[in-house]
Amino acid sequence: MTDRLPHPLRADALDNRERILDAARTLFAAEGLHVPMREVARRAGVGPATLYRRFPTKQALVTEAFTDQLRACEAIVDEGLAHPDPWRGFCLVIEKTCELHARHRGFTEAFMAAYPEAMDFAAARRYTLRSVGELAHRAKGPDGLRQDFVLDDLILMIMANRGIRAASTTARVAASRRFAALVIQAFQASPDHSALPPVPRLAPA
């Protein structure tokens, strides 16, 4: 019976695993999920055989690399649901979701469509959409969310936010914050047209 129990990783194997995950997070966040597995191995300073021994498929690597982002996504919608003002809670979800996806480019692709059969991502998508749907229902009203908002609008927002390109993560996040502010005004039943966050330089002058 004890032979079938999982054995703890040796110190060197554990170190390799963490180096692989750190490299994957860095590369996926900067360049998206198209980064080859061999490039992840090279950045981590391990051989391809070591990488595939720890993570036999790219799906396994992506799922493990973005575990923290999945938990952060769930925490964001929980925070929005707990807000005493549903409209302000909805705005918080929009702002923090856009920033989370802007900081981790590969996460959007993984969350939306790249690995639909991955149970962690599937469960997180279901929970997020169900929770935002509940929050949206509560936020609708003349001083809150417009009545014709549907969840497909949230998907459209995430897809558009993914398209932001900038020279640095800082500029990408700044652009995402401005985009979120524009989206919130578009979603509001009676937009107040408050001042937008500053826009970073995204193209040559």
Encode pLDDT of 8-45 as tens digits.
556 677 888 999 999 998 888 777 788 999 999 999 99
pLDDT > 50? residue 89: yes
The CATH T-level fold of domain 67-187 is Tetracycline Repressor; domain 2 (1.10.357)
In angstroms, rounded to a whole number, what is the distance separating the alpha carbons of residues 7 and 200?
A: 50
In angstroms, rounded to a whole number, what is the distance separating the alpha carbons of residues 119 and 15?
A: 26
Domain ranges of the chain: 7-64, 67-187
- Band (pLDDT 50/70/90 cuts) for residue 1 is very low
Phi-psi domain of 15 (left: phi exceeds 0; alpha: psi -120 through 50; beta: other): alpha
Encode pLDDT of 184-196 as tens digits.
999 999 877 777 7
**Contact present, 89 and 37 (Cβ < 8 Å):** no
**Contact present, 161 and 179 (Cβ < 8 Å):** yes
Q: Yes or no: is domain 7-64 CATH 1.10.10.60?
A: yes
